[in-house]
Amino acid sequence: MAAAKPTLTDSLSFCLAQLTAAAGEDLGGGKDPATNETPLGRALLALRTRHIKAAGGIERFRARGGLRPLLSLLRRAAAADPAPPQAGPGSAPLSAALAASAGPAPSPGPAPSAALSSSTPSPPVRLRKTLDLALSILANCCTEGACRAEVRRLGGILSLVTILQCVKADSIQNRTARALGNLAVEPESCRAIHSAGAVPLLVESLTACQDSQCLQSVVRALRNLADSPQHRLALAQQGAVRPLAELLAAAPDPALTSALVRALLELSRGCSRACAEQLSLGGALGPLVSLASHPKRVVREAAILILANLCAQGLVRPALGNAGGVEVLLGELRRRRGSSGASPVSQQPLVRAVCLLCREAINRARLRDAGGLELLMGLLRDPRASAWHPRVVAALVGFLYDTGGPGVGYRLWGLVPLLAGQLCGEAGDDEEEGTEAASWDFPEERTPERAEAGSLRSLRSWLISEGYAADSEDISPDWSPEHCPLPECAEPTNPSPSPASLRPPRTLRTPRTPAHSPAVGATEEPWGREGPALLLLSRFSQAPDPSGALVTGPALCGLLAYVTGAPGPPSPRALRILARLTCNPACLEAFVRSYGAALLRAWLVLGVAPDDWPSARARPTRRSQHRELGEMLLQNLTVQAESPFGVGALTHLLLSGSPEDRVACALTLPFICRKPSLWRRLLLDQGGLRLLLTALTRPAPHPLFLFFAADSLSCLRCLLVPTVNPALPSATAKDSDPPSPCLYKPLLGPAPVPAPDLHFLLDSGLQLPAQRAASATASPFFRALLSGSFAEAQMDLVPLRGLSPSAAWPILHHVHGCRGCGAALGPVPPPGQPLLGSEAEEALEAAGRFLLPSLEEELEEAVGRIHLGPQGAPESVGEVFRLGRPRLAAHCARWTLGPGQCPRKRALALVGLVEAAGEEAGPLTEALLAVVMGIEPGARGPSPDC
Ligand SMILES: *[C@@H]1O[C@H](CO)[C@@H](O)[C@H](O)[C@H]1NC(C)=O
Ligand SMILES: *[C@@H]1O[C@H](CO)[C@@H](O)[C@H](O)[C@H]1NC(C)=O
């Protein structure tokens, strides 16, 4: 249309001048209504088609002050528009409303007369055209941030809302909605539009407008107005969702369809109940399911995500399932998990939706048929999906109680180790779900008093109400340490574990603090995030023979870590699971073969978890509570073991089991057998003890095997050698003996009395004084040497070969009659230093060579006193054992298995012994056997405490 020759409207100044002039004019005045060839009409057209569209045009228009006259013109044109306002009773007259909406801008001209707005029956074309052009310019300007701010400042939003209310022509509604939609891209405008009351008017347009483009503008405005949870809720509460749903259900053209799904996607975020209800009542569920296979990806994905959002509302899930939503959501989740590119973030809403769908029996049936169970189990096995694991476990609980799914429980069986691991798992995505997400299978739960309870509580009540769980049995505590408090005492003083280091946990994770408040009430069992996993495990533990899944190393470790790791008292449900397992005869064998009984004892009674071995860790307290718990569980196992069935099972295991099982059985018996006839027969008569001892040098591949074995042998020793008086450990008693007088010292002074009549000459050249007569009586060796037919008998300087001064020292004392003068301690290196190759070993060897058995004994005692004291380090035990002397080996075994020894030191000592024994297991076996049986020579004052 622009001619080659320049026109007046090429000038922005001219156009602005026209605009400003018109803003103050009486627009309804008697100019020719048939033409838009007025200067104003030309100026507006030029502004819209040329000036605004030019690069930087909007900016220039605003900078030159165009917005204020534009808004004024808009108000005046609208006020002059003769279309009858359709506002209800009580609404202000249009002109007044527009005047009020003028905001801070002073009304430049005289108020338009009411006559103008009602006199002419058909609207002057020119006026409508002016309004249309002005709105179009304004909408375009509102694509620019600074313009939006100025429009807000000038009260433009209220004016637009008033126009929306008063001028009902599609084209005006279209442009007004577009302007509002453009304004609504930022929160400040959004707030203003909401508070100006635009939403009901836009909703009204949805039903009133016929034109698709107009509808698209309105739909887009509504979408942009759904920018926050509050605004989404406000939109739903004002009924914005239902007409959108109805429009979608009417199968509109592709452009409108696309606009509708995009808007519904925004509106359904964090889906409120109102939103879900309107979507469902508006008939959108079916169309959304169909759109989930739309050829256009944006439409398809929006439809799917709307369905996913809807799942947050329990009331709509059954209908959503009926419409085919289950298969759609499951299929999409499967697709996103399958494609390697799809990020976990993209799976998140679908995982959540599918899990929510598991809350209704009807949808569970659909999920099961569509392979949903496998998908959920796959999620549980996927470490990358760990954030969702608690949610998935909660979802699976429902399946377990379904009657319609034969074999479901069986399929879930494989989850036990995962579930046990879950108990102490990471926190997962902790997204709050309100009561509205609760299962719709029991809508009566949705009463306000239960509002805080959440959906898991509902599940619980449901389980009870449906008879799947008895209130007393599985759902609320029937045995709880909270109700029968155990004495809370400090760390037991004897045996005292070595000081625990303060390292952070290595692999076992600390369970989360149960998500319950004391306000839950005394009779309520804490229902933390691990509640679903515990519920499933509890359910499994009620199977006739749950041992295959639950009485395994990993499952027991998970349960025990949970029981001991929680900061609060142990979870009653977890305790009930353990009690149930230990009381089930079908589990006895598994407790033996998996070392489960030994683990219970180590972890609960002795306070040594697998992670505490071999080095200790700081542990939460409650030791005494754990100890009592462990003793109770072992007591329950004992009841099983000593029943006729148990005796038969254990006997069979020990005599006919695999080599590994036989060892495990022998090791476990001292923990779960109190009847002497039984353990005597199995361990002594049938060779169980020897079996265990022989196995020490080729330990089973259990990380705690040697710990268990040391504990087991010590327990057995207590059974076999019941002792009476708690005598002090022998070494302590000996320490207090005063040293006896030294008989050799007098020979050493400058004027020795009696004078030595002989000197022994060492390799080093050192000469040691001696008395021939005394020396000759010390042993057959010295008699032969000094008073026999050898040349030495005539020599004053007798060489003693291969002897260092330090090793020679106790020998010289000994041959001169010293017994216990302390000289034997001389060659013994301090603890921590090697004994092999030391002067002590040399002295021992020499004492043997010189046929001085009582010196050997004295030297061995010295070694024992220094290296195997009550406070000695377990590392010394192996070192002493390496000397290869039977008496010392017995001492080592006694130190290791002796009563009152700290379990950890005991086990470390055994590890050292096994290492020292190497291939030559015989001496170690014999030494341990003798100590266990109480037949070792020179065993002194054992004490009780077994
Ligand atoms: C509605 O508004 C759009 C965008 O401004 C415009 O392209 C379209 O022609 C308008 N349609 C009607 C019927 O007014
Ligand atoms: C387990 O043993 C304890 C202690 O002996 C006993 O009180 C409890 O009743 C037993 N539990 C079961 C379920 O038999």
Q: Is the CB of 211 under 6 A from ligand 1?
A: yes
Question: Cβ atoms within 10 A of the Cβ of 304, count?
Answer: 29
Structure tokens at 667: 């090791």
Q: What is the SS3 string spanning 165-196?
A: HHCCCHHHHHHHHHHHHHHCCCHHHHHHHHHC
pLDDT at 484: 23
Res 620 pLDDT > 90: no
* pLDDT one-digit tens code per residue, 823-862: 888 888 888 888 888 888 888 998 888 888 888 888 888 8
Q: What per-residue string of b and e applies to 800-838 under the rule 16 or more CB within 10 Å gives b? A: beebbbebbbbbbbbbbebebbebbbbbbbebeeebeeb
Confidence category of residue 115, pLDDT binned at 50, 70, 90: very low
* pLDDT one-digit tens code per residue, 254-290: 999 999 999 999 999 999 999 999 999 999 999 999 9
CA–CA distance, 933 with 922 (Å, rounded to integer): 16
Phi first, then psi: what are they for 811, rounded to 5°?
A: -70, -45
- Of residues 629 and 476, more confidently modeled: 629
On whether the CB atoms of residues 707 and 602 are closer than 8 A, the answer is yes
* pLDDT one-digit tens code per residue, 830-840: 888 888 888 88
Query: Cα of 294 to ligand 1 centre, how many Å?
Result: 26
Structure tokens at 338: 């399958």
Say what angle helices 372-381 and 389-401 make with each other, to 10 degrees. 140
pLDDT at 435: 65
Q: What is the SS3 string spanning 134-151?
A: HHHHHHHHCCCHHHHHHH
Using DSSP, state whether 765 is helix, strand or coil.
coil
- Of residues 650 and 786, more confidently modeled: 650
Ligand 1 atom closest to Cα of residue 136: 5
Question: What is the CATH number that goes with domain 9-101+123-196?
Answer: 1.25.10.10
* pLDDT one-digit tens code per residue, 359-418: 888 999 999 999 998 899 889 888 888 888 878 888 887 777 665 544 556 666 677 777
Confidence category of residue 662, pLDDT binned at 50, 70, 90: very high
Res 727 pLDDT > 80: no
Query: Cα of 632 to ligand 2 centre, how many Å?
Result: 6
CA–CA distance, 177 with 160 (Å, rounded to integer): 8
Q: What is the percent of the chain where pLDDT is above 90?
A: 36
pLDDT at 562: 84
Is the peptide bond preceding residue 495 cis, with omega within 30 degrees of 0? yes
* C-alpha distance from residue 772 to each of 529, 804, 816, 856, 903 (Å): 86, 21, 10, 22, 52
On whether the CB atoms of residues 628 and 577 are closer than 8 A, the answer is no
On whether the CB atoms of residues 206 and 243 are closer than 8 A, the answer is yes
- Of residues 759 and 652, more confidently modeled: 652
Nearest CA to ligand 2 atom 9: 636
pLDDT at 485: 25
Confidence category of residue 189, pLDDT binned at 50, 70, 90: very high
Non-local (6+) Cβ contacts of 76 within 8 A are 23, 25, 27, 98, 109, 112
Which of 494, 563, 625 is closest to 903 using CA atoms?
494
Decide whether 9-101+123-196 matches 738-838+846-852 in CATH topology: no
CA–CA distance, 827 with 813 (Å, rounded to integer): 13
Nearest CA to ligand 1 atom 9: 213
pLDDT at 34: 40
* pLDDT one-digit tens code per residue, 198-232: 999 999 999 999 999 999 999 999 999 999 999 99
Res 786 pLDDT > 70: yes
Rg of the chain over CA atoms, in angstroms? 46
Query: Cα of 259 to ligand 1 centre, how many Å?
Result: 15
Name the least confident of 181-190, 412-421, 769-778.
412-421
CA–CA distance, 720 with 722 (Å, rounded to integer): 6
Nearest CA to ligand 1 atom 12: 171
Burial grade of 910 (CB within 10 A; 0-12, 13-18, 19 or more): buried
Structure tokens at 12: 């922005």
Structure tokens at 47: 């502004």
Which of 514, 526, 525, 586 is closest to 550 using CA atoms?
586
Which of 844, 845, 807 is closest to 826 using CA atoms?
807
Which sequence spans correspond to the domains of the chain? Answer: 9-101+123-196, 311-444, 491-514+534-720, 738-838+846-852
Nearest CA to ligand 1 atom 6: 213
For range 538-565, the mean pLDDT: 84
Ligand 1 atom closest to Cα of residue 132: 14
Confidence category of residue 460, pLDDT binned at 50, 70, 90: low
Q: Choose the residue to mutate in 583, 629, 633, 643 for probing ligand 2, maximizing ligand atoms within 8 Å of C-beta.
A: 583
Question: Cβ atoms within 10 A of the Cβ of 751, count?
Answer: 5
On whether the CB atoms of residues 376 and 395 are closer than 8 A, the answer is yes
On whether the CB atoms of residues 654 and 666 are closer than 8 A, the answer is yes
On whether the CB atoms of residues 765 and 805 are closer than 8 A, the answer is no
pLDDT at 353: 95
Half-sphere exposure of 435 (CA within 13 A, CB side): 14
Q: How far apart are the first and last CA of the chain?
A: 108
Non-local (6+) Cβ contacts of 432 within 8 A are none
pLDDT at 410: 61
Nearest CA to ligand 2 atom 6: 632
Ligand 2 atom closest to Cα of residue 631: 4
pLDDT at 731: 44
Ligand 1 atom closest to Cα of residue 174: 1
For range 751-757, the mean pLDDT: 79
pLDDT at 83: 55
pLDDT at 119: 39
* pLDDT one-digit tens code per residue, 703-723: 889 999 999 999 998 888 766
pTM: 0.65
Using DSSP, state whether 546 is helix, strand or coil.
coil
Ligand 1 atom closest to Cα of residue 211: 13
Residue 85 gets which letter from DSSP? P
Q: Find the ligand nearest to 135 CA.
A: 1
Residue recorded with tokens 């909703």: 203
Ligand 2 atom closest to Cα of residue 579: 13
pLDDT at 27: 58
Burial grade of 933 (CB within 10 A; 0-12, 13-18, 19 or more): middle
pLDDT at 109: 38
Question: Cβ atoms within 10 A of the Cβ of 452, count?
Answer: 12
Res 188 pLDDT > 90: yes
Confidence category of residue 82, pLDDT binned at 50, 70, 90: low
CA–CA distance, 331 with 351 (Å, rounded to integer): 11
pLDDT at 475: 35
Q: Is the CB of 876 under 6 A from ligand 1?
A: no
In this structure, CATH architecture of domain 738-838+846-852: 2-Layer Sandwich (3.30)
CA–CA distance, 601 with 608 (Å, rounded to integer): 9
- Of residues 461 and 915, more confidently modeled: 915
| Mean pLDDT rounded to a whole number for the chain | 79
CA–CA distance, 50 with 71 (Å, rounded to integer): 19
For range 180-187, the mean pLDDT: 96
Q: Is the CB of 583 under 6 A from ligand 2?
A: yes
pLDDT at 728: 41
CA–CA distance, 464 with 471 (Å, rounded to integer): 6
Q: Is the CB of 580 under 6 A from ligand 2?
A: no
Query: Cα of 171 to ligand 1 centre, how many Å?
Result: 7
CA–CA distance, 408 with 368 (Å, rounded to integer): 9
Q: Is the CB of 213 under 6 A from ligand 1?
A: yes
Structure tokens at 29: 């005045």
Res 429 pLDDT > 60: no
On whether the CB atoms of residues 245 and 279 are closer than 8 A, the answer is yes
pLDDT at 900: 77
Query: Cα of 780 to ligand 1 centre, how many Å?
Result: 127
Using DSSP, state whether 216 is helix, strand or coil.
helix
- Of residues 566 and 161, more confidently modeled: 161
- Of residues 853 and 247, more confidently modeled: 247
Res 641 pLDDT > 90: yes
pLDDT at 525: 44
- Of residues 755 and 347, more confidently modeled: 347
Strands 797-800 and 758-762: parallel
CA–CA distance, 556 with 559 (Å, rounded to integer): 5
pLDDT at 495: 34
For range 330-349, the mean pLDDT: 85
Helix-, strand-, coil-residue percentages of the chain, each rounded to 5: 60, 0, 35
Structure tokens at 442: 């029991």
Using DSSP, state whether 826 is helix, strand or coil.
coil
Nearest CA to ligand 2 atom 10: 636
pLDDT at 937: 58
Query: Cα of 583 to ligand 2 centre, how many Å?
Result: 8
Confidence category of residue 247, pLDDT binned at 50, 70, 90: very high
Of the segments 138-147, 488-497, 507-516, 566-575, which one has the largest average pLDDT value?
A: 138-147
